[in-house]
A and B are shown apart, each in its own frame.
Chain A
Amino acid sequence: MPRILTRENAIRWAPFMVLLALIVLFTAINPSFLSQRNFARIAIAAAPALMVAVGVTFIIVMGSIDLSMEGVVSLTAVLFCFLMLALGGTLASGGWVAIPVILAVGAAIGLVNGFIHVKLKIPSFMASLALGFVGTGAAILLTGGDIVKFNDPTFRALLTWRILGFPLMVYVAGLCLVLAWFIQSHTRLGRYFYAVGGGEELAHASGVRVQHVRMAGFSLAGFFYAIAAILQVAKLGQAESVTGSNFMFMSITSVVVGGVALWGGIGGVWNTLVGVLIVAVINNGMVVIGLPDFLQAAVLGLLVIIAVILSTDRRAVAFVK
């Protein structure tokens, strides 16, 4: 009989245990935390953030970093609203065309990001940060600083139509998560991400076209950012040049808290799901238990550090940079 309580297992399940512990803690202080309605609220808050975090997971698994998410989400959200309105303003009137177009735009921006990083040999940190600023700037240029409202009831059904108490957008996010898991575990591209993240020279020597894998990874991330943008528009009924703000902190924190190692090769989209839920539960729970606002930022920071300590196998790496 294999031992269940190994060190490896403990670390693998640590993020999930942290999530359960948080739920128990918040429920103990305010029992109304543990209700289906509250879980639906947490799920709505987490759905767009999950898509951003899943996108950046592929990049982090490769050992790179992508910081373009805020600009890309803002730009694709604004473009999505403009395109929808130009196509008649409703899904039924032909506006659905905007969805594949915007997903393609997201992937194309990601490809440009990857191209700048790989071909111009600029570190991914800098290339993606710069491209993110370009995205925000373009969104400001398009909107002139104003808000674009988009309120087609059919499209907003993503928020308002509930199945088993959860809005449609939560199921859409779930399906996209399964798609991401499939790419990660059942495609050659997914395995190459791990190969590149585990040891780039080795992957190269084994015949993996590392540059192509990197560009494909950034393009895939851009695709998921565009999904996040569409869900965010569904959630808020509007887009503006700040629609993507806060996603950078939220997604990178979630990925790390979930147990994906920033040095690459370790973790995957399920870790990211747990990480996003941990951050969303903390954000919701702090208000639900009535924590004073001046303590919230500090408590969030502390909980993140604790979660990272518990959920990453730091003995496995020689040094942390």
Chain B
Amino acid sequence: MSTFIKDFIERETVNRRNFLLATAAGMGAMAVPFAFGGGAARAAISDPAIAWSYRDRASAYWNSVVSGGEAFVESLGKSKDSLVSLINEGSSEKSLADIKAFLAKTGGKCAIACDANDSPNARPVVEAVRDAGAYISTIWNKTDDLHPWDIGDNYVSHMTWSDEKPAEQTARILFDAMGGKGGVVHLGGIAANNPAIERLNGLKNALKDFPDIQLLDAQPADWDTTKGTELMASFLTRFGDKITGVHCANDNIAYGVIEALRAEGIENMPIVAYDGNPEAVKLVMDGKLLATVFTNPHWGGGITAALAYYAATGAFKPSEEPKEHREFYGPTVLVTKKDAADFKAKYLDAVPSYNWKDFWGPSNGQIKYK
């Protein structure tokens, strides 16, 4: 039996080697005609098609990202409709399939901005783009071992946001408002989400410098307003007057917390939030929230498309850029009462017009891995 298996494996191995050799020979022969004409011109695509691949249109966040992408294509003198939306609806399979379809349709003459939906999906996506000779820039999701400089010029850049430091800043603002003592509760996002973990870590970092402040409890409210109210009501039963400050993982939760407190007639509880949504900024101006954090999704949406586009046209060569221009953090803007009015005027009342060739101006340094 064992000899049979051994023979079989040997035969199959030889066959595969022959097959590979034959394939390589074939490929080589195919490459010859291109060796003189096509090769050099491949680096520059004169008018690449532009696409944004993202999750859904039902959220203010992604709507803002897409508005940035549209602002960028308009800066090229094209119509808004020339930005192709590839909506993955939370499915990594659909994300990859849509991108492959777009690559096939454009024959690789395209620039793609993309959130790969989850981290493991980023590698097949960027490899498909590289194999087609197109260009891609990604945001949010990629594994720590995947780097643009390992893939080549076709993987232009990756941007993400680090929430730990800003969440620590909001916590410090909260603790100062609490007079450096008392009890704080944290209402978090979906427990396994990376931003939820980072935002809680930020709170814990700030706690180290405030020994008289106790973290009473941290529970997930799933980024949701209704869950936020109900969790806050339960916290009030459990801790009562011991709660003197509330740290929320996002604005939506904070809206719920404010309503739970309103029902109890509690008016001036110090609360901080995250995301910088227009309603939250208004609450900061009204003094109902102490602070929130804005990540400028409009700029993120435009600049990600711009990076892929200008690398495709050959306006710059990614491999000649330093690493902090290939993997970097996006901007975070802390919004507090004293700057909320300015912030609203600058970012919300009228969308600022950005220079889409200033790729790294507002960015926040090279990504660090733990």
Contact = CB atoms under 8 A, between A and B. Distances in A.
A binds B: yes
Interface residues of A, number: 39
Contact of B279 (A147, A160, A245, A293): A147
A101 B192 CA distance: 42
B276 to A, nearest CB: 14
Contacts of A288: 234, 237-238
A156 B258 CA distance: 13
Nearest to A240: B225
Contacts of A290: 217, 238
B238 A41 contact: no
Interface string B147-189: 0000000000000000000000000000000000000000000
Contacts of A146: 60, 63
Nearest to A167: B263
Given A290-B217, A294-B191, A238 B58 contact: no
Contacts of B262: 156, 159-160, 237
Contacts of B217: 290
A236 interface: yes
A41 B259 contact: no
Contacts of B42: none
Contacts of B115: none
B229 A293 contact: no
B294 to A, nearest CB: 16
A140 B58 contact: yes
B238 A30 contact: yes
A286 B234 CA distance: 9
Contact of A45 (B58, B233, B255, B265): B233
Could you say which interface size class chain B belongs to? 20 to 34
A290 B226 CA distance: 20
B219 A237 contact: no
A237 B236 CA distance: 20
Interface string B216-243: 0101100011110111011111101000
A41 B236 contact: yes
B57 interface: yes
Contacts of A33: 237
A241 B225 CA distance: 12
Nearest to A32: B237
Given A32-B237, A284-B237, A160 B58 contact: no
A98 to B, nearest CB: 20
Contacts of B2: none
Given A32-B240, A159-B263, A41 B234 contact: yes
Contacts of A246: 224, 226-227
B59 A149 contact: no
A113 B284 CA distance: 43
Contacts of B235: 287
A45 to B, nearest CB: 5
Contact of B224 (A147, A245, A294): A245
B271 to A, nearest CB: 15
A293 B191 contact: yes
A110 B240 CA distance: 42
A293 B222 CA distance: 11
Contact of A236 (B225, B231, B234, B265): B225
Contact of A140 (B57, B220, B225, B236): B57
Given A45-B230, A160-B265, A236 B256 contact: yes
A147 B225 CA distance: 11
Interface in A199-257: 232, 235-238, 240-243, 245-246
A46 to B, nearest CB: 10
Interface string A283-310: 1101111100110000000000000000
Nearest to B258: A237
Nearest to A250: B226
B58 A241 contact: yes
B234 A145 contact: no
Given A236-B225, A236-B255, A287-B238, A44 B233 contact: yes
A35 interface: yes
A90 interface: no
Given A33-B237, A140-B58, A236 B230 contact: no
A287 B60 CA distance: 30
Contact of B219 (A149, A284, A287): A287
Contacts of A236: 225-226, 229, 255-256, 259
Interface string A23-57: 00000001011010110010011000000000000
Interface string A242-285: 11011000000000000000000000000000000000000110
In this complex, which of A37, A41, A160, A243 has the most chain B Cβ atoms within 10 angstroms of its Cβ?
A41
Given A32-B238, A32-B240, 19 more contacts: A41-B233, A45-B229, A145-B62, A147-B279, A236-B255, A237-B255, A237-B262, A238-B255, A245-B224, A246-B226, A246-B227, A283-B234, A287-B231, A287-B235, A287-B237, A287-B238, A288-B238, A289-B238, A290-B238
The 5 closest A-B pairs by CB, nearest first: A287-B234, A41-B233, A38-B237, A140-B58, A288-B238
Interface of B: 57-60, 62-63, 191, 217, 219-220, 224-227, 229-231, 233-238, 240, 255-256, 259, 262-265, 277, 279
